[in-house]
Amino acid sequence: MLLFPQTYPQDKSSQCIKISIYPAGTCTKHPARVPAHSAARCVCYDQRFHHELIPSVKVQLRELIQQSIQALQSDATLPADLVVPGFVIERARSREHGDFASNIAMLLAKPARIKPRELAGKLVAALPANTLVDKVEIAGPGFINFHLATGAYHAELQHILDQGDAYGRGNSGGGRTVGVEFVSANPTGPLHVGHGRAAAIGDCLSRLLQATGWNVIREFYYNDAGVQIANLAISVQARARGITPDDSSWPEAGYRGDYIAEVARAYLDREAVLADGETVTGAGDVDDLDAIRRFAVASLRREQDLDLKAFGVGFDVYFLESSLYRDGKVEETVRELVAHGHTYEKDGALWLRSTDFGDDKDRVMRKSDGTYTYFIPDVAYHLSKWQRGYRRAITELGSDHHGTLTRVRAGLQALDAGIPPDWPEYVLHQMVTVLRGGEEVKISKRAGSYLTLRDLIDEAGRDATRYFLIARKADSQLVFDIDLARSQSNDNPVYYIQYAHARVCSVLRQAEEKGLVFDLQDGLRQLTRLDNDHEQVLLTELSKYPELIETAAANLEPHLLAGWLRELANAFHTYYNAHQFLVEDTALRNARLTLVVATRQVLKNGLGLLGLSAPESM
């Protein structure tokens, strides 16, 4: 019989300590969980825990230091009107220097007119009594090093088990709304690997922001207007007329992939396409270029939607560039820019005086032929975000769009609409190089000139593709090795992480097969038995998770979570290889199983924030 935590989704009270098992159909407390005909068993909790989210250790240490400062102000050691600067509490680089270190004494030394080391001593002496810290030392010019009490790590283990799937989540966002725009591909072809990286980054950012208390709205901006859409239409029209890319009459800027022929055949066959709730039917008329354009755009929007669904990515809002023209928003934006006096005419064109807002040169808004340059609809689109209430907006783009950032922000400032100068925030990703057999893979027959996201998912699998595309910082170039992503070895990071979760599940199955009872309550009482170095390393890694989530979300750097999960998996695998868990000593066995069950929970939570599965066997 196993007694370990497990989540039951429809029951808010189930995040508790599991200590009793009822046969199928006999549980009087939760009859809805297990129908009478079910072969499953209901596991209930005799002692329930309903904690609020627990502040991280760093937050608790900061509060202790704040109380120490207040005590020194009370006895006039520090000025009563002292403005406390933002000080750092960070993980110590070496365990010899404790668990955390702070620079507060060095920051306060000058205004306090006390030498840093002397002030550090006074701050330490004024720390309130607590059970969090075992020992405090002063190092170097005045760093304060904190050694946490063993009980602090044991308490964190309890928090993990109490909170379950909610462990690591916070509320720094306070329920405020943030719009996250990502992918935003032109509907002119299948999604390529670069779009895949954008999808992985944007989706993981959204998950991290939700985990830290933000109300996240995911948005996809369809560039369904302009020259590229016109090229798509004439490409499909040429295919519908039987012209191939090898013919001399093929459009010079036409798209050459096999998918163009597929769209043309569907159009001629008068197929119906459902995209974003709208059905578009092929007219079959090869001379109706507008009907071909509508059908081609709808077909490729549907294909992109299906690819993203296969990748585990969804959106709350789909915004069409064409709607900006249809609703007069582009013209309205131009009128507002002119009315606020930030434009001028030159050589028959209308210019934005963007140098007034930090751009390196003024930009053409409307060309001499009367058409708009591409950044004007971008300004109109971002203005719509502001008008729709996005007081915080994040846009994820490829690094090749870097040049548009300054001019879009300049356009928004020129509108004098109260938009902050650093709005929206941008996350830019670098290119992806895909390798197979040590050689770069560039071409997909269906797409014609690039490797598609669907190709990559089909070859490497969704989880591996997501992990590899998120594993490096967004502004770093990324090499995706298909052979490594498919391998079942410790060199494959996503396999290594998921295998740690599966290994814990395997240990628990083995315990049940051997008739060994795992009593979690006893395990929590026996945590002092966790006294070897491998256990302390694992306890320390687990305690980092809440602050890691907060940091990754605040810095918009989901790769931090991907890298840390590998470190956690390494700590677990090292522990697994060095020690037996199913030992005869009942107290020790319960303590060790409690530790690995908590590890499983954190692995599951972290994998979930990356959009990855947590397999129970591999």
Mean pLDDT, residues 101-122 taken together:
95
Q: Is the pLDDT of residue 448 over 90?
A: no
Q: Which two tokens stand for residue 116?
A: 């840093």
Model confidence band, residue 447 (pLDDT cutoffs 50, 70, 90): low
| Contact between 133 and 127 (Cβ < 8 Å) | yes
Q: Is the pLDDT of residue 412 over 70?
A: yes
Mean pLDDT, residues 123-146 taken together:
95
3-state secondary structure of 481: strand
Q: Which two tokens stand for residue 189?
A: 């072809």
Model confidence band, residue 404 (pLDDT cutoffs 50, 70, 90): confident
Q: Which two tokens stand for residue 37?
A: 């005909």
| Contact between 376 and 365 (Cβ < 8 Å) | yes
**Nearest-5° Cα angle at 371, 365 to 377:** 55
CA distance 135 to 131: 11
pLDDT score of 539: 96
**Nearest-5° Cα angle at 396, 391 to 399:** 135
Please name the residue that has the structure tokens 């939570």: 605
Average pLDDT value for the chain: 89
CA distance 209 to 320: 25
Strand residue runs (E) in 116-173: 133-139, 143-148
pLDDT in tens, 179-200: 999 999 999 999 999 999 999 9
pLDDT score of 403: 78
| Contact between 240 and 264 (Cβ < 8 Å) | yes
All domains of the chain in start order, with CATH: 1-50 (no CATH), 57-148 (3.30.1360.70), 227-309 (no CATH), 490-609 (1.10.730.10)
pLDDT score of 97: 86
Q: Which long-range contacts (CB under 8 A, 24 or more apart) does 276-279 make?
A: 276/301, 276/305, 276/318
Model confidence band, residue 17 (pLDDT cutoffs 50, 70, 90): very low
Q: Residue 128: is the preceding peptide bond cis (ω within 30°)?
A: no
CA distance 595 to 443: 48
CA distance 1 to 481: 43
pLDDT in tens, 274-285: 987 889 999 999
Containing H/E element for 153? helix 150-163
Q: Is the pLDDT of residue 51 over 60?
A: no
CA distance 309 to 355: 42
Q: Residue 251: is the preceding peptide bond cis (ω within 30°)?
A: no
pLDDT in tens, 527-556: 999 999 999 999 999 999 999 999 999 999
pLDDT score of 48: 30
2 secondary structure, DSSP code: E
pLDDT score of 402: 82
| Contact between 179 and 396 (Cβ < 8 Å) | no
pLDDT score of 4: 34
Q: Is the pLDDT of residue 12 over 90?
A: no
Q: Is the pLDDT of residue 431 over 80?
A: yes
pLDDT in tens, 228-261: 999 999 999 999 999 999 999 999 999 999 999 9
Burial bucket for residue 134 (CB in 10 Å: 0-12, 13-18, 19+): middle
Q: What Å distances lie between residue 33 and 16, 20, 28, 164, 363, CA to CA? A: 16, 14, 10, 19, 64
Q: Is the pLDDT of residue 19 over 50?
A: no
| Contact between 454 and 542 (Cβ < 8 Å) | no
Candidates 173, 145, 155; CA nearest to 88 is 145
Please name the residue that has the structure tokens 């001593």: 121
Burial bucket for residue 445 (CB in 10 Å: 0-12, 13-18, 19+): exposed
| 42, amino acid identity | C
Q: What Å distances lie between residue 411 and 32, 352, 471, CA to CA? A: 57, 8, 34
CA distance 40 to 124: 55
pLDDT score of 321: 94
pTM as predicted: 0.87
CA distance 253 to 231: 6
pLDDT in tens, 24-33: 333 443 444 3
pLDDT score of 450: 80
Q: Is the pLDDT of residue 37 over 70?
A: no
Alpha-carbon Rg of the chain, whole angstroms? Answer: 29
| Contact between 526 and 588 (Cβ < 8 Å) | yes
pLDDT in tens, 568-616: 999 999 999 999 999 999 999 999 999 999 999 999 999 999 999 999 9
Residue 479 CA to its chain's centroid (Å): 20
Q: Is the pLDDT of residue 355 over 80?
A: yes
Lowest-confidence segment of 6-10, 245-249, 305-309, 311-315 by average pLDDT: 6-10
CA distance 18 to 520: 7
Measured over the CA atoms of residue 360, residue 365, residue 366 and residue 372, the dihedral's sign is positive
| Contact between 570 and 490 (Cβ < 8 Å) | no
Q: Is the pLDDT of residue 299 over 60?
A: yes
pLDDT score of 444: 62
